Structure 1
Amino acid sequence: MTTTAGSPLIILVAGHWLGAWAWDEVLEHLATDHSRVIAMTLPGLDVDDPGRAAKTLDDQAAAVVDVITHHGASGDQPAILVAHSGANAPVSLVLDRHPELVHRVVWVDSGPVVAGSAFGPDIPEELEELPLPALDVLAQQASLEGLSAEVLERFRARAVPEPGPVLRQPVELTNDARRKVPTTLVCCSIPSAQVLELARAGHAMFAEVANIEHLDVIDLPTGHWPMWSRPRDLARAIQSAASRSK
């Protein structure tokens, strides 16, 4: 499977507890040539992998690079990475290690991480994996706006516990070229104006946004999982970002 001129490979990477299945509704609306859009499951989130709880951020970043190269993208014809939520850590590593392979990164209610940060640095070493919290607890951590009872039940039923090593591992970033990769923020649970204000103020969660050289924003007001609450509109946002030269 290869890309064609002007139509780079688009790789969809979902956040914590999710696999490729999370993008099913978005894929229905993304272009007509599905051979150029790949939804992937990160290592550690494949329910059929008996060793998944030991997977690391390095494993996840390497898997993203493997998908990029396996499907025909390269330094001459780089891919577009679409990263939702907690996929920001492995995708930030990919941008740091192989910026030449990425034409554009699209952060979906997410953004690049700060060097040295970890999602859960205080998670005990003995905790092998972190299951999806109860929905009432999850709602205190991220907006569930727009999600029906049926969607929430599917989320609960299909969610895969997040590997402990992925949550504890600091993201080591050393290559400033990652900041030159053209970037789109799709802002959902937090408006873009607020995200940019927090970035300028140096807020830990958004500080790296202020260092991006080529940035545009798309507001898509909804909850933290727009692939379920507004899949058609998210597909349009991804297509719009993919069509930009910078």
Structure 2
Amino acid sequence: MTTTTSSPPIILIAGHWLGAWAWDDVLEHLNDGRTSAIAMTLPGLDENDPDRAARSLDDQAAAILDLLARLGVSADQPAVIVAHSGANAPVSLVLDRCPERVQRVVWVDSGPVAPGSAFAPDLPEGVEELPLPSFELLGQQASLEGLSAEALERFRARAVPEPGPVLRQPVELTNDARRQVRTTLVCCSIPSAQMLELARAGHAMFAEVTTVEHLDVVDLPTGHWPMWSRPRDLAEVIRSAASRTD
């Protein structure tokens, strides 16, 4: 992958159970000569890694920072990071540790996490990993709207169990500069007006949004996995956000 000063590299990171493959449909529309994007698989979600169930949020954040280094990302040439769903925890760590290397963060049906929070703090230590649940149960937790039978079949076939340490580990954040990173929220399963109302009301899942200093919101109505339900539209939203300098 090559980068230019006029087009920052775009790093796509999917949420729980997913690897780089989840972005294939989006990349078809995004890498068209105007932008340069790459998807990554977080540690713990590579099915060929024999130690994947032991990987932690720190491992995931370190892998993102390593990719940025390999791409030549710096304070002078920062990247755009696109984080979907549960990728918000490791990406929040990256923003905390190296905010100057991120030009903009694009949260896809997601958002920044609050200091000290964990996705599943009560998950027993004996649980090494969490497989993808049934779609009946998953649909009670996140919207499956817009997903075809083919997309659901691919999801089931390629999903990798989420490591227990990733789900239990609290996100330790200490650098307020993370809140100065330009931020775009792509609201899919919850409209932006409702999400912002919940954030202002102090809802634990959204409250951190109110601390972001440079924020814009985009509504892309669909379910929680827009990379499959509306890939072309999501690619356009990401391209537009990456080109913004305000």
Q: Which range, TM-score by smaller chain?
A: over 0.9
Q: How far is the alpha carbon of 1:34 from its aligned partner?
A: 8.7
The answer on whether the counterparts of 1:3 and 1:73 sit within 8 Å (CA) in structure 2 is no
Which segments of structure 1 move beyond 3 Å, counting only runs of 4 or more? none
2:194 maps to 194
Q: How far is the alpha carbon of 1:205 from its aligned partner?
A: 0.2
1:235-246 equivalent positions in 2, closer than 5 A: 235-246=235-246
Deviations 1:112-157 (A, max 9, x none): 0000000000000000000000110000000000001111011011
1:90-169 equivalent positions in 2, closer than 5 A: 90-169=90-169
Residues of 1 paired with 2:2 and 2:99: CA distance? Answer: 20
1:230 maps to 230
The answer on whether the counterparts of 2:35 and 2:239 sit within 8 Å (CA) in structure 1 is no
Deviations 1:71-123 (A, max 9, x none): 12111100000000000000000000000110000000000000000000000
Residues of 1 paired with 2:56 and 2:193: CA distance? Answer: 34
2:24 maps to 24
Residues of 1 paired with 2:159 and 2:26: CA distance? Answer: 18
Q: How far is the alpha carbon of 1:31 from its aligned partner?
A: 3.5
Q: 1:35 to 1:108 in 2, by over 3 A?
A: closer
Deviations 1:18-49 (A, max 9, x none): 00000000000004239821100000000000
Letter paired with 2:233: D
2:52 maps to 52
Matched, 1:170 2:170: yes
The answer on whether the counterparts of 2:129 and 2:164 sit within 8 Å (CA) in structure 1 is yes
TM-score (norm 2): 0.98
2:82 maps to 82
Letter paired with 2:237: A
Residues of 2 paired with 1:123 and 1:2: CA distance? Answer: 41
Letter paired with 1:190: I
Give the root-mean-square deviation of aligned CA atoms: 1.0
TM-score (norm 1): 0.98
Calculate percent identity across the aligned residue pairs: 78
1:185 maps to 185
The answer on whether the counterparts of 1:2 and 1:72 sit within 8 Å (CA) in structure 2 is no
Structure 1, unpaired ranges of 5+: none
